[in-house]
Structure 1
Amino acid sequence: MPKVLEVCADSVESAVTAARSGATRIELCSALAAGGLSPDEDMYRMVRERVDIPVRVLLRPRSGDFLYSDAEYELLRRQVRRFAALGADGVVIGILREDGTLDAARMAGLIELAGGCGVTLHRAFDVCRDPLEALETARALGVDTILTSGQQAACTQGAALLRQLVQAARGKPQILIGAGVNAAVIRRLQPQTGADAFHLSAKHTVESGMRFRREGVPMGQPGLSEFAIVRCDGAAVRAARAALDALCPA
């Protein structure tokens, strides 16, 4: 499979910056601070109007675990159907059973609705019971990509499992390394794992343009500044692309 530098973006501005800075694919979501949730249709349409690289859409109805109620599963079904119809290059999904195994039946239902577009199994994989078993289940379902940190908080801590997964997968599905990725991490992990696909958000904080500021009135989680806006850092994406190109020439 071709090398991948995927950037996770939760705004139109970040998606455009990522595409201009060398990303090969966008994972579009909302609410990166919550680990990424489903975006809305209008944001997707605006991104598609402005970028010319593939866009996969993260579909996650809420933060928290990946054991979904019937209503949450129905919402996922509707979202997969909608974004596939809109021409998304892929959907990014994941559902677990209460015993920690991949919910193959529900995943199969979503993949059927995706209608042949690409399918990434997201980091639900990183909290499953048995990663090698989940890899084989994903392969049988037709998943083409697994996003993983090697079942650790940061991918650098999961290097041993990542190498094992890359060797076991043999490109089907492609192992996409995420969680803490930057140029230095690519230079470190690519030789250790043999991976040719990396996922990063390249976040940096942009100062708000507000001159009048009423402090101490949080709109969300207390402690998070309302005047610090998180966007994609183009320089970080360019550095990551240069590192990947050096290690995985075309």
Structure 2
Amino acid sequence: MKDFNLEICIDSAESAIIAAANGATRLELCGHLMIGGVTPCTGLIKMVKDVANIPAYAIIRPRFGDFVYSDLEFEQMKRDVVACRELMVDGLVLGALTPDGHLDIERLKPLVELSNGMHLTLHRAFDVCSDPFRALEEAIELGFHTILTSGQAANAYEGRKLLKQLIEAANGRIDIMPGAGVTSSNLKEILTTTGATSVHLSAKTLRPSLSTHRNPNVYMGLPSIDESIIYETNPEEVKAARQVLETL
């Protein structure tokens, strides 16, 4: 049996406990998964380190949206890297692009240097790069250890052809980790087709709000987002994914 990494993306201490207890080997720690994840707050980082006994990698993403950052956003990212390092976070998940869709080397290099040897994952900014093979080589040169990618497709299942090509091109120099739309149902085919040994999924489910009262005329954010439900890691899905990995 191969030694697979099962990374679960979480945005709460509750989900960290569930993921760690049901077979995850690593956590990607985010704030607000509903918008794709942003840099987690200090309190959440500390809580997850207290309640989960597996490595946690924090995403460095200052806002929702694209990955072309202003000077002030870049300064914020640098400060977040330093803060995560001081909090003894196990690794970082980050990325930045130029307007024409290439890795922003001028911004990424200082972030890598500030990480001071932490494990580094290039996040799915990779999936909107204009040349994935150029980005692969640049990520290796910068010192990243992992690339999280759907194979530049809507999900990793649809992107499995490019994922396989990237893994072959990487040739062991960097870990290519399929992510986006990965479930226990398609996990086996994704891994056997691509040859990947790490996988990333949110394994999320919905739970109702604990609130028994709500003003239907008031929204804290977009009216299109249902604020009466909360995303949480599904223990059965994590367990099922772990069971699939144990058969490979």
Same fold (TM over 0.5): yes
What is aligned with 2:13? 12
Provide, for residues 183-233 of structure 1, a one-character-per-residue CA deviation record: whole Å limited to 9, x for no partner.
Answer: 112111111100111101111110122222332422111132221111010
The 5 A counterparts of 1:75-114 are 75-114=76-115
What is aligned with 2:196? 195
Structure 1 stretch displaced more, 23-32 or 182-191: 182-191
Contact map agreement 1:165 1:175 (CA 8 A) in 2: yes
Q: What secondary structure does 1:155 align onto? A: coil
Structure 1 stretch displaced more, 212-221 or 133-142: 212-221
For 1:163 and 1:134, the matched residues in 2 are separated by 16
For 1:133, give the aligned amino acid: R
For 1:6 and 1:53, the matched residues in 2 are separated by 10
What is aligned with 2:168? 167
Q: What secondary structure does 1:235 align onto? A: helix
For 2:236, give the aligned amino acid: A
Q: What secondary structure does 2:231 align onto? A: strand
Provide, for residues 26-80 of structure 1, a one-character-per-residue CA deviation record: whole Å limited to 9, x for no partner.
Answer: 0000011111000011110011001110000001001111110000000000000
What is aligned with 1:246? 247
The 5 A counterparts of 1:42-81 are 42-81=43-82
Q: Does 1:129 align with 2:125?
A: no
Q: What secondary structure does 1:224 align onto? A: coil
What is aligned with 2:183? 182
For 2:243 and 2:150, the matched residues in 1 are separated by 21
For 2:227 and 2:64, the matched residues in 1 are separated by 21
For 1:101 and 1:4, the matched residues in 2 are separated by 28
Contact map agreement 1:204 1:230 (CA 8 A) in 2: yes
Q: What secondary structure does 2:63 align onto? A: coil
Q: What secondary structure does 1:52 align onto? A: coil
How far residue 181 of structure 1 moved from its aligned partner, in angstroms, is 0.7
What is aligned with 1:37? 38
For 2:82 and 2:173, the matched residues in 1 are separated by 24
How far residue 2 of structure 1 moved from its aligned partner, in angstroms, is 4.9
- Percent of aligned pairs with the same residue? 46
Q: What secondary structure does 1:183 align onto? A: coil
For 2:154 and 2:7, the matched residues in 1 are separated by 19
For 2:3 and 2:116, the matched residues in 1 are separated by 22
Provide, for residues 90-133 of structure 1, a one-character-per-residue CA deviation record: whole Å limited to 9, x for no partner.
Answer: 10000111121111121110010001010000000000010011
Q: What secondary structure does 2:186 align onto? A: helix
For 2:67 and 2:56, the matched residues in 1 are separated by 23
For 1:172 and 1:237, the matched residues in 2 are separated by 28
For 1:87 and 1:199, the matched residues in 2 are separated by 22
Q: What secondary structure does 2:241 align onto? A: helix
For 1:216 and 1:173, the matched residues in 2 are separated by 50
Change (3 A) 1:2 1:108: farther
Number of residue pairs aligned between Structure 1 and Structure 2: 247
For 1:203 and 1:157, the matched residues in 2 are separated by 20
Contact map agreement 1:145 1:172 (CA 8 A) in 2: no
For 2:45, give the aligned amino acid: Y
Unaligned runs of 5+ in 1: none
CA-atom RMSD in angstroms: 1.2
For 1:149 and 1:127, the matched residues in 2 are separated by 10
TM-score by length of 1: 0.96
Q: What secondary structure does 1:58 align onto? A: strand
